[in-house]
Amino acid sequence: ATERTFSIIKPDATRRNLTGAVTKMLEDAGLRVVASRRIHMTREQAEGFYAVHKERPFFNDLVSFMISGPVVVQVLEGENAVAKNREVMGATNPANAEEGTIRKTHAESIEANSVHGSDSAENAAIEIAYFFKPEEIVG
């Protein structure tokens, strides 16, 4: 079924001018960008977005990294968009990511791993609503 997922192009990628290269890989995977905005997240925004990770040892570093530069928040649409996006992103740790994936191609480390993607349709809906009003999404 046609589905939506939420994606972030992270600061390590925007810093290296990879917004287009990453977006092309998403599009080539069959995903359509139906909303997109470049933002510099506040600490509060990043902490709220990653609240599920707040007890993890990497939480503070992750939040600092995510506010270290601009990000591009996007809504992606397509057949099985959540799974398709996870496939083209590759494993969280680029050392474990498959050849041809965004993280294998571009990520610097497990933290500076170029992209975020929702891990389920349920979380996609929550994450999309965190950054976008319904009228900002144009399918």
Binding region for ligand CMP (CB under 6 A): 53, 58, 62, 92, 110-111, 113, 116
Please indicate whether residue 116 is annotated as part of the active site. Answer: yes
Residue 13 C-beta: closest distance to ligand CMP, Å: 12
Number of residues in the chain: 139
**92 in a known ligand binding site:** yes
- Which are the contacts of 91, defined by CB distance < 8 A and separation ≥ 6? 97, 98, 101, 103
E-strand ranges in the chain read 2-9, 32-39, 71-79, 115-117
Q: What's the number of CA atoms in the CB half-sphere (13 Å) around residue 107?
A: 25
Residue 92 C-beta: closest distance to ligand CMP, Å: 5
Of residues 77 and 111, the one with the C-beta less far from ligand CMP = 111
Give the CB-nearest residue to ligand CMP: 116
**131 in a known ligand binding site:** no
Dist CA 42 CA 71 (whole Å): 11
Residues with active-site annotation: 116
Q: Known binding site for ATP: residues?
A: 10, 58, 86, 92, 103, 113
